[in-house]
Amino acid sequence: LDEPSSRTISVKADYTGGTSDEETLKIGELVPSSKSVVVKGPLEIISKIAYAKATVNLDGFISHSVNIVNVELELFDSDGALIKDSYPAEYEYIEIGETAEDKRIDVYVPVYMIKELPVVPQYMYGIFESKNINCDIFPGTVTVRGDVSLIEKLTEISTAPIDDTMIGLSRSLQIG
């Protein structure tokens, strides 16, 4: 084998599987705790390593807004092939980082909730209520996306306050 060598490679994060509720929960961009890692080993093999990847398995993933998952790094060549599969005999001579802990990395996995909510008119003075006025709102619903703990509590979206003293028998208003 060649002389030992080292180089810094970039770290990518990716995921497999899906969330526990794929209809309403969406995964944001995964962020590894480190953008790069040092690999050491025979120059012949080290030179073929293009990047390290931390792959998070999301099957049945928890629906919190902030999730940090610790996963093992895998090394890939420029064609996307796993180094340990392509060079099994030489792979045992490759070191990732300075310590055994450097082979693992934390990955921030943001989870967002998407929810369609009805738009409900909000009147300033309480003269009108839904039972004594025919009010058409366009659009009648809006789709919101955000932090799970906030979005899951929402049941509707209110319009900007409507001055109900200004509404006559037939009138269109544009708000907002």
In contact, 164 and 126? CB cutoff 8 Å: yes
Residue 61, pLDDT score:
67
pLDDT in tens, 55-73: 999 886 665 666 889 999 9
- Cα–Cα nearest to 25, from 73, 58, 72, 69: 58
Report field, pTM of the whole predicted structure over 0.75: no
List the beta strands (DSSP E) in the chain.
4-16, 25-27, 31-32, 36-42, 51-57, 66-76, 95-96, 104-123, 141-147, 157-162
